[in-house]
Structure 1
């Protein structure tokens, strides 16, 4: 059963061959490897063409530069002949056998919609394996784990899963948003109908902080993320369950970001925090789910929603005292 592997490609010439070779050398061979040259100014486009000429499983698409989301969206138009789909970033590479393991599980367990696996976090200094315990979750359990935003495994990284194509039907990545994976992975999980299984394996070598990689600024403007979640809510206007989950996701994302923001100097942090007050007001008017299963943490989030200025002022004050010790 054919597996579509979607790889957006842009300015990764030193890493591209390692990435593609790791796909083509997988023991699972029934694949459609979709390489999308996103207007890369280096030799990436030519390298993609070379692979397509050498291996009939490779489809190379060329387009003007539009970002990772637009590259993935173009590839998604070419997956109709593949019952399974996954993603891989072009500066990362696979662990041998992972696709065989994932596809075998989906074939043997038709009640499962997604298979998740861990990864190796690769820096210039060391490799840190993040290998989960094997676990079977219902769709509802996986959704709550996702919107809690606390899991290293059930997270926004779309390349850490194999999906049944039906879970992705009709979905596209939001173009122009740096955090496009957040909503895409959430909607895929929401519209899936089966269980969610976690394999106790590392499947991807994730290259962290490589030279030349796009990195978020120290204080990123995350309002685009919350707009993306808001647009998702509008796509489900009469779905109370989706509203509650999406609002919980947005609330937890913002709570953790403002906790990070509170580590900066009070004038800077306060100036940035004010940008998010209208968003907090909207979040406060909607349902919030207990995704943490921790009464104390839920109380803290509700306090944050009700009194964001006081919460923020107290947190920055405590941080400033601790920094003086």
Structure 2
């Protein structure tokens, strides 16, 4: 059940020394004060671990967890082991929050009996700011039933995990895929499928920093990861959540085919596809739309990618 009214905030920490204090301070200064702040030092080679320990002396609500480097997924998963709250939230450690973010979202949950509440986002590079808002037809409205999972396919603000507060039972038992940079693509889908009632406010309360060196905001993009996470989402929804809705399975297959198409299409010095299995080609051909299918066959020819029987 979790401790009544307590919000456990999980913050994975890795090589963010210039931004870490800004992030932690923005959580400490929340107007919603019943917090457990879990700093997970993911084997960071700089002074991040030391900063985490210093904050445990400043604020009794903070605990620091130190581990060998396991990546963002491993840090989030291990942070959940220490979470005691009725509510759960995640923050990326180079981002920061508006002071009223958690008070606003928890009020929404309690007033409308929601499973999760989300806010809009300010996308910042340190100089310019862009507001990321929900589609007008869902902003500030209760979304229920099947319409919640629909947002996985249509709404960016539902494809990330850090702009939300969740009831504990929505989150627990779901682990981020290890070693993948597209873990939000998987986890957000699992959370949405479990959710029966949610809202997205058009208040921009989360500041998303486009850090060019971050594994989540920049750096080398690993195009295969989103394919892996999409396939895992489809399979785990079928086997763990017992999803048998053929329309959802069809749409996830179409999404997977598009992601595989993009993986083949991109020219990247870090990998080169030399061959694919015939079963993989048949899957992509089946679920791609007509024009992408034509382009896909042309790419196989242009890049001299063999089809293995």
Provide TM-score, normalisation by structure 1.
Answer: 0.78
2:82 — aligned with what? 78
Q: Give the superposition deviation at 1:227.
A: 4.5
1:212 — aligned with what? 213
Q: 2:119–2:200: 8 Å Cα contact kept in structure 1?
A: yes
**SS across alignment from 1:13:** coil
Report whether the alignment pairs 1:136 with 2:165.
no
1:15 — aligned with what? 19
Give 1:295-306 correspondences, 5 Å limit.
Answer: 301-303=288-290
Which of the numbers 179, 182, 202 marks the counterpart of 2:182? 179
Gaps of 5+ in 2: 302-309
- Structure 2 CA distance for aligned equivalents of residues 195 and 52 of structure 1: 35
2:117 — aligned with what? 115
Q: CA 1:35–1:99 in 2, change beyond 3 Å: closer, same or farther? A: same
Q: Give the superposition deviation at 1:246.
A: 4.9
Give 1:272-291 correspondences, 5 Å limit.
Answer: 272=273, 275=276, 278-279=279-280, 281-282=282-283
Give 1:34-49 correspondences, 5 Å limit.
Answer: 34-49=38-53
Provide TM-score, normalisation by structure 2.
Answer: 0.82
* Cα displacement string for residues 231-251 of structure 1 (whole angstroms, at most 9, x for unaligned residues): 52563385312x652552352
Q: CA 1:239–1:313 in 2, change beyond 3 Å: closer, same or farther? A: closer
- Structure 2 CA distance for aligned equivalents of residues 68 and 145 of structure 1: 24
Count matched residues: 288
Q: Give the superposition deviation at 1:114.
A: 0.9
1:162 — aligned with what? 165
Q: Give the superposition deviation at 1:284.
A: 7.3
- Structure 2 CA distance for aligned equivalents of residues 143 and 40 of structure 1: 35
- Structure 2 CA distance for aligned equivalents of residues 276 and 211 of structure 1: 35
Q: Give the superposition deviation at 1:279.
A: 4.1
Q: Give the superposition deviation at 1:151.
A: 2.1
Report whether the alignment pairs 1:66 with 2:70.
yes
- Structure 2 CA distance for aligned equivalents of residues 158 and 277 of structure 1: 36
Q: CA 1:219–1:92 in 2, change beyond 3 Å: closer, same or farther? A: closer
Q: CA 1:85–1:173 in 2, change beyond 3 Å: closer, same or farther? A: same
2:296 — aligned with what? 312
